[in-house]
A and B are shown apart, each in its own frame.
Chain A
Amino acid sequence: MARVLTDAPSGTRLAPARAPKPSIGGRASGPAPSSRRGRRRGANEASGWQALLWLSPALLLIAAIVIYPAITLFSTSFSEYSITGIRKGDAGFANYAGFLSSPDLPKVVLNTGIWVVAVVAITILIGLALAQFLSKDFWGRRVVRWAVIVPWAAALVITSQLFRLLFDYYHGTINAVLLALHVIPKPIDFLGNPPLLMASMILVGVYVSLPFTAYLFVAGLSAIPTDVYEAARIDGASPWQIYTTITLPLLRPAMLIAVVLNMIYVFNSFPIIWIMNGSNPGFGNDTLITYMYKIAFKSAQHDVGVAAAAGVFNVIVILIAVIVYVRLTRTRAENPS
């Protein structure tokens, strides 16, 4: 995959990550002169009408269930609603003003920042190491890979429930093990103490994000041709030198995908915070997503308009975060320091 991204114009493959326009969209980078495997030879031109015929089922479904709710969300954010959800009229920017002036918002934004940065950064670091390890050939590797994908395959909400019990003050296995090993003198209230709760949620967030991230890096690693390593080894490079000067730069496209997707997923992550923070009142441990959900469906406010404003705000935040990250990596790639 990394190869795919760095080897420039191969067919309709999208702009490589380092190209001037690493658009998130799938812009075809022009016709392929000749693809390595020649498999784009059959790529014919087709008329827009033909395309519409083949794409219309997908387009219809997306228009009805993704685009339409997005528009609804937007228009809802400018409307006033009764507590039972009946539209009462235009609200102008009142919902946004209400959302932005909420006394809970600064804390929620801070929580979100900590949550996203910590989970993504730790996941990427451990994911790199784990991918290196999973790429090695050893007896039992298949079994290890199976074990690693379990948190990925299991429903997040179930894993969150499980960790709620594991971290429990009275009955939690984690406290029991730490006590038995004499690491701690008395049980720790992981879920009742805000900083510890955040740390516990981050741990679970990393745990469930690791399998996917590690597999992305395994795919990236497997795309690096082995002869590059042979050459470096012959030149007498140390393993660490090889890793930092060959592996990491060639992993950059996989890194970009891993960071961006993890940012989106972790930001939008709902069940971990919803479940593990479930027994705490107020908004002190919420992220923007769970905060929005509480405003919409759970709190006494039950204000659809404000919740919609929060939803629009969230979409903008994640969009900006992704664009900033993509731009930063692009500048770095263009002017290697």
Chain B
Amino acid sequence: MTSTSVQSPSQASRRTAPLSAGSTLRRRRRSPRAVLLTVAGFIVAFVFASPYLVMLLDALRPSGEVLATPPRLLPKVWTLDAFVDVVSDPVFRGWLSTSLIVSVTSTVLVMLVAIPAAYFTARFRFRGRGLFLMLIIVTQMFAPTSLVVGIYREFYDWGLVNTYTSLILTDAAFNIAFALWILQGFFAAIPAEVEEAAVLDGAGRMRTLLQVMLPLTLPGVVTAITFTFIATWNEYVVALTLMQDESKKPLTVGISSYVTAYQQNWSDLFAASLIAIVPVVILFALIEKHLVGGLTAGAVK
């Protein structure tokens, strides 16, 4: 089932084109119906975005005001204090750098292992191909959550608890599946003739992949990178388990300490949250048009 989509992304994305170009719909654009659709659209958008708007408003008021009773929708005092607080906090900067190091490294690692595998499975038939793709799906099914006890035991035995290495390896391994599905679809969509020419000119398979295929499938590669980066950036349960050293926690785990039983610093929590969320939302929005094609493979969450 999941694998059904192995080669579909590119195709699906091609098929979205007629949808937006639907000429019959376009003609109705200024009809009452179209206005109604736009109004409904903005209601939908508001429903999805409003919790995060509350988050923004709470990040822009003094911490004490968040817990005022009764709560006010708009801040009485508008302030950037929470953002200043958070950014100037060395502990927060530690979490931020952990998140960056772990996400960037594991994304690179995913690409290094997934690109050759995706290319090869897209282009060749060989014994064990089905088995390999099955294995990939199994990794998706055994989310790190269900294996977390085993993962912890493994790194405990290897003395790697509390190291970037453990988190990077785990984030990378569980994100191969998704990257592979996206990439495979894009590779399969390039006619084989294109690279046969390069191969005939004497370029090896690897050079063909790097110099011919990757440039041609750049949107796919960018989509896969973005997906992987976001997934690793947002990872929680493995980091919560493996990174107990305060300075080595990533953002997702660290920021919870702004609100504990002992202190309730909601505006700092939300300022830090926004710093964590906004960049990935922008990244995600940038690849939105590839989502329809790219995501059929699996999911981020």
A residues contacting B by CB (< 8 A) are 1, 3-5, 11-17, 22-28, 31, 37-48, 50-51, 54-55, 57-62, 64-66, 68-74, 76, 85, 130, 133, 135-159, 161-163, 165-166, 170-173, 176, 179, 207-209, 211-212, 215-216, 218-219, 221-223, 226, 253-254, 256-257, 260-261, 264-265, 268-271, 275, 289, 292-293, 296-297, 304, 307-308, 310-311, 314-315, 318-319, 322, 326
Q: Which residue of A lies closest to B192 (CB)?
A: A42
Q: Flag whether B230 is at the interface (Cβ < 8 A).
A: yes
Q: What 6 A-B pairs have minimum CB-CB distances, sorted nearest first? A: A42-B192, A26-B133, A25-B134, A73-B150, A65-B173, A69-B150
Q: Is the CB of A57 within 8 A of B120?
A: no
Pairwise interchain contact B130-A27, C-beta atoms closer than 8 A: yes
Asked if B104 is at the interface of the complex by the 8 Å CB criterion, the answer is no
Q: Does B141 contact A (CB under 8 A)?
A: yes
Contacts of B1 in A (CB 8 A): 14, 17, 22, 24, 256-257, 260, 326
B173 touches A154 (CB 8 A): no
A137–B26 CB distance below 8 A = yes
Task: Give which listed residue, A45, A219, A257, contacts B293 with CB less than 8 A.
Answer: A219
- Residues in A with CB closer than 8 Å to B145 are 268-270, 289
Q: Is B114 an interface residue when CB atoms closer than 8 A count as contact? A: yes
- A66 CB, nearest partner CB in chain B, Å: 5
CB pair A44–B124 under 8 Å, yes or no, is yes
B286's closest neighbor in chain A, by CB?
A: A146
With A162-B54, A268-B146 as contacts: A64 and B173 at CB distance below 8 Å: yes
Flag whether B137 is at the interface (Cβ < 8 A).
Answer: yes
Whether B76 sits at the interface, judged by CB under 8 Å, is: no
How far, in Å, is B219 (CB) from chain A's closest CB? 16
* Segment 261-290 of B: residues with Cβ below 8 Å from A: 266, 269-270, 273, 276-277, 280-281, 283-285, 288
Residues of A within 8 A of B132 (CB): 26, 51, 55, 59
Q: What are 20 residue pairs bridging A and B, where the CB atoms are less than 8 Å apart in the complex?
A: A1-B296, A11-B7, A25-B3, A38-B191, A45-B125, A58-B116, A60-B113, A74-B150, A137-B26, A145-B288, A146-B285, A151-B48, A153-B281, A155-B280, A158-B273, A165-B58, A211-B48, A216-B295, A260-B1, A264-B140
Q: Does B211 contact A (CB under 8 A)?
A: no
B38 near A139: Cβ-Cβ < 8 Å = yes
Instruction: Pick the contact of B12: A4, A76, A319 (CB < 8 A).
Output: A4
Given contacts A14-B3, A61-B169, contact A162 B51 (CB under 8 A): yes
Residues on A with C-beta less than 8 A from B300 are 152, 212
A286, chain B: closest CB distance, angstroms: 13
Give the size category of B's interface with A. Answer: 35 or more
Verify A144–B149 contact, CB threshold 8 A. Answer: no
12 further A-B contacts with Cβ under 8 Å, apart from A157-B236, A293-B148, are: A1-B5, A1-B11, A28-B125, A46-B124, A47-B126, A66-B138, A70-B150, A144-B41, A144-B44, A171-B68, A171-B69, A271-B236
Q: Is the CB of B5 within 8 A of A69?
A: no
Indicate whether B66 reaches chain A with its CB closer than 8 angstroms: yes
Output the least CB separation between B156 and chain A (Å): 7
Bound CA–CA A12/B256 (angstroms)? 46
When distances are taken between beta carbons in the complex, the residues of chain B under 8 Å from A310 are 149
* Contact A4–B5 (Cβ < 8 Å): yes
What separation, in Å, do the CA atoms of A73 and B153 have in the docked complex?
Answer: 8
CA gap between A133 and B68 in the complex, in Å: 39
In angstroms, how far is the closest chain B Cβ from the Cβ of A250?
A: 13
* A296-B176 in contact given A26-B136, A50-B126, A153-B284 (Cβ < 8 Å): no
Is B149 within 8 A of A44, CB to CB? no
* Complex CA–CA separation, A140 to B127 (angstroms): 49
CB distance from B23 to the nearest CB of A (A): 10
Whole-angstrom distance from the CB of B259 to the nearest CB of chain A? Answer: 7
The answer to the question of B212 belonging to the interface, with a C-beta cut-off of 8 Å to chain A, is no
Taken together as a complex, chains A and B put the C-alpha atoms of A315 and B150 apart, in Å, by 12
CA distance A62 to B110 in the complex (A): 11
The answer on a CB contact under 8 Å between B66 and A171 is: yes
- CB pair B256 A46 closer than 8 Å: no
Q: Is residue B80 contacting chain A, with contact meaning CB distance below 8 A?
A: no
Asked if B147 is at the interface (CB within 8 A of a chain A CB), the reply is yes
